Structure 1
Amino acid sequence: MNMMTRGREFGRKEEGGQEPRDEKTIQQELKDTLDKVKGFAENFEKKAKEGEDVSREAKNNADEALTKLTELRGEMTELAQKLDQRGGGDDEMEHKSLGQKVGASDEFKSYLDSGCTGTMRLEVKAVTSDPASAGPLIQPARQPGIVELPRQRPRIRDLLTPGRTTSNSVEYAKQVTRTNNADVVAEGAQKPESDYAWEVDSAPVRTIAHWVPASRQAMDDIPQLESLIDGELRYGLDDAEDAELLLGDGTGQHLEGLYTVASAYADPIGYADPTRIDQLRLAVLQVELADYAPDGMVLHPSAWTSIELTKTTDGAYVFANPLGIAGPVLWGRPVVPTKRIGSGNFMVGAFRMAGQIFDRMETEVRISDQDRDNFIKNMLTVRAEKRLALAIRRPAALVKGALVDLPAAA
């Protein structure tokens, strides 16, 4: 014989024909029992302090209340489990069964009002994925994460010497004249005089900033949205900074960019019919003849690809190794690919000697509801900004030019 005790089934009568109690009734009884147990505890504590003994009857009453409390807690747990199994959420109940729909239909109500005479005709539509049919029951499978747009990592900053400032501009002394007349001198003869001259130049601190609006609900409900917006805003600043460091024209609030002040490329040795690879080596020579040591190149990604794909007559790659994992390097100098420079241009230089970045304020992201009518609309303004100056001390250390055309395909 199966001696397992069977619990009460939610929605059916209990043993003895009694209706099961609802959640509100059980909660009220649980509260009353808790108050009773609390009263017993306070009474026992008071008598213990006064040195009085607790009567056996009081102890029995307390034991009964504690037993009742345990039963009520078990009943609440059972009720919660049954509600959960039935999916007792409001959203679930919105999807009515066929019987519920028949009972709630106007046709059925009219049939009852007429004394159930004659025959009732109720049209039951075909069950399809149409929104008016079973469509609401079909829930799309939501994949975690957000698919972001591609990013290109700005790296012009990496070529320059880093620095910091606490002012709104950076002044520096720039050498403008060097006439070196050092020579051997006979005993008693006058020594030759050299000529050096400097002038003071300044680099103003500029601000790069942008912002986006976002609703407070979206920021609260999507955990990764705040970090995503933060990352997007930071990337946007870096991308704009990349453009300013390279191409800024120095007017208005723009920085003076490296490409803007670089010297024009001029073949120093008159090399005949140079390729793009030859041309970049000649630009390195031009910088070296200006007494600087080139430490990098800037090319468009497509221009760099055309160089990597250069092959010998038997099909072997000249510079690239398809199996290699080393970064882009040409003539011993690292290559920085960036679309900002344009597909037909290049720049070679001693970047760390030529320029220095002075950060006044590193990237800062702030969120505020104190913007226009944000407070009453439950909106937030997310702002990102940075402040920096670019001091280009030695423009002659930079050479820019246009790449020669690629040979026509055979």
Structure 2
Amino acid sequence: MSTLDEVREKLAAKQDELKKVFDEAEVTTDSGEKSYDFARVKSLGDNVRGSIAVAEKVKAMDDELNELGEKADKLEAAERAAKGLAEREKVRGRPPMPGGRGNHPSVADRVKSLGEMLAEEKAYSDWIKRGTPGGIDFSYDVLPSDVLAKAMQVETLLTKALMTTAAGYAPESVRLPGFVEATTRPLQLIDIIPMAQTGQAVIKYMEETTRTHGAAETAEGGTYAESTFIFTERSSDVRKITDSVPVTDEQLDDVPMMSGYVNGRLMFGVRQRLDTQVYVGNGTAPNLRGIVNVAGIQTQARGADPVPDAFYKGMTKVRTIGRAVPTHHVMHPEDWQGVRLMRTTDGVYIWGSPSEAGPERMWGLAVVQAEARAAGSGLVGSFQPPWITLFERSGVDIQVGYTGTQFVEGKRTVRADMRAALTLGRPAAFCNVTGL
């Protein structure tokens, strides 16, 4: 198998085989819950009988599914890389980013963090020398995705050490470089959503909402059959996401400190909020409309089914109604925990022994653990460019100025913002799984 379509076709066939095994093994307990008795399975042939033998075969089938899923992921990533290369070729002639040397700066010179660009800005250093009168604005011509990626590389070794002494003569105390970050939710979903650039304030596109094929056999001289195709214009507003942090005059003079704040706090804060909005944003201005709140996505209730069965039924809806190939499951970590700990009636862990990490895959598809949505509901969908795209409208803008009484307090506010829009070209390519 060498093409993505061939791998996906085999993956779908193997999913159906494994589903048949689970259907045969499924039993209902006295409490009404569903479980699995693998001794009931006959579809694997006479050579595979008994719960342990069947469980081992099921694990082998699941491992094969995971291997196929990983192949599909790699091939899909390769195709995205090819498309990305084509897009980058279109913008090779754009001006180099600040800090580039000569007419042909290297990649390392061109891609700088916002903190580094701010530190190298002559207007900024001149403003510091003048005593920081009033405010100052900066605007850079950069690709937002480049800057957001650079923002994840938090450099703490350049932060200044602080020496403090008590009254009188005392041994010096040197503060260790850097700092221990407080806990926060990582980025979890936006990495699997295709991204693109836009120069518009509103993303408009046409969706074929009616597709009725009337093709039919016709007698000689008879009236031709007629089909009906209707298009509807859809739109998604570009929304702004912002973050800011107050800093003292001393911190403004401490360039590495400024770089750390811009990269490690403001940029991450903007991306983290975007990660939440694309999943659960309610669409009421100024919010984006997240995937689960887009009209037209499908729903699959778990009911009395085991969680994996509910997600498989969601996959089936994506295939048969959405006419798309499902690529990912999205689940809260607590819901995934319940799946990972599932056991057969005789105590065999379905997703692998506790001594193993176990694959974060289900029915051959990658499982993305996302906490932006409360436990109890999940999502299965086709995260491919024809069906979903996250558009970036403008580069990240950094500004420094006064707010309120900061002038007399010796403070400034550093702020960052970005603008983005999310479009679902085919909502039925996604299915909301509830009741987990």
TM surpasses 0.5: yes
Task: Indicate the residue corresponding to 2:242 in structure 1.
Answer: 209
Task: Give the superposition deviation at 1:342.
Answer: 1.0
Alignment partner of 2:389 out of 346, 356, 369: 356
1:118-129 alignment runs, 5 A limit: none
C-alpha spacing 1:326/1:362, structure 2 compared with 1 (3 Å)? farther
Alignment partner of 1:279 out of 296, 306, 310: 310
Task: Indicate the residue corresponding to 1:263 in structure 2.
Answer: 297
Task: Give the superposition deviation at 1:373.
Answer: 5.5
Task: Indicate the residue corresponding to 2:268 in structure 1.
Answer: 235
Task: Give the superposition deviation at 1:148.
Answer: 0.4
Deviations 1:67-119 (A, max 9, x none): xxxxxxxxxxxxxxxxxxxxxxxx99973xxxxxxxxxxxxxxxxxxxxxxxx
**1:163 and 2:196 matched:** yes
2: CA distance, partners of 1:243 / 1:359: 16
2: CA distance, partners of 1:243 / 1:213: 24
3-state SS of paired residue (2:195): coil
Task: Give the superposition deviation at 1:222.
Answer: 7.8
C-alpha spacing 1:310/1:363, structure 2 compared with 1 (3 Å)? farther
2: CA distance, partners of 1:348 / 1:188: 49
Task: Give the superposition deviation at 1:181.
Answer: 2.4
Deviations 1:179-220 (A, max 9, x none): 122345556554422211101111111101021110120343
2: CA distance, partners of 1:93 / 1:395: 65
2: CA distance, partners of 1:201 / 1:221: 48
1: CA distance, partners of 2:230 / 2:172: 77
Q: Are the counterparts in 2 of residues 369 and 375 from structure 1 also a CA contact under 8 Å?
A: no
**1:247 and 2:280 matched:** yes
C-alpha spacing 1:322/1:185, structure 2 compared with 1 (3 Å)? farther
3-state SS of paired residue (1:341): coil
Task: Indicate the residue corresponding to 1:316 in structure 2.
Answer: 348
- Aligned AA (1:286): K
3-state SS of paired residue (1:351): coil
C-alpha spacing 1:361/1:323, structure 2 compared with 1 (3 Å)? farther
**1:336 and 2:374 matched:** no
Alignment partner of 2:210 out of 177, 192, 214: 177
Task: Give the superposition deviation at 1:301.
Answer: 0.9
- Aligned AA (1:148): E
1:191-206 alignment runs, 5 A limit: 191-206=224-239
Gapped runs of 5+ residues in structure 2?
A: 1-163
Q: Are the counterparts in 2 of residues 214 and 382 from structure 1 also a CA contact under 8 Å?
A: yes
Alignment partner of 1:391 out of 406, 414, 423: 423
- Aligned AA (2:242): A
3-state SS of paired residue (1:137): coil
TM-score by length of 1: 0.59
Q: Are the counterparts in 2 of residues 250 and 257 from structure 1 also a CA contact under 8 Å?
A: yes
Task: Give the superposition deviation at 1:377.
Answer: 4.4
1: CA distance, partners of 2:354 / 2:178: 33
1: CA distance, partners of 2:353 / 2:213: 46
**1:403 and 2:415 matched:** no
3-state SS of paired residue (2:372): helix
- Aligned AA (1:207): K
Q: Are the counterparts in 2 of residues 219 and 226 from structure 1 also a CA contact under 8 Å?
A: no
**1:381 and 2:381 matched:** no
Task: Give the superposition deviation at 1:246.
Answer: 1.2
- Aligned AA (2:383): F
2: CA distance, partners of 1:140 / 1:345: 51
1: CA distance, partners of 2:166 / 2:305: 78
Count of residue pairs the alignment pairs up: 270
TM-score by length of 2: 0.55
Task: Give the superposition deviation at 1:314.
Answer: 4.4
2: CA distance, partners of 1:379 / 1:280: 52
Pick the structure with greater CA Rg. Answer: 1
Task: Indicate the residue corresponding to 2:336 in structure 1.
Answer: 304
CA RMSD after TM alignment: 3.0
1: CA distance, partners of 2:377 / 2:299: 11
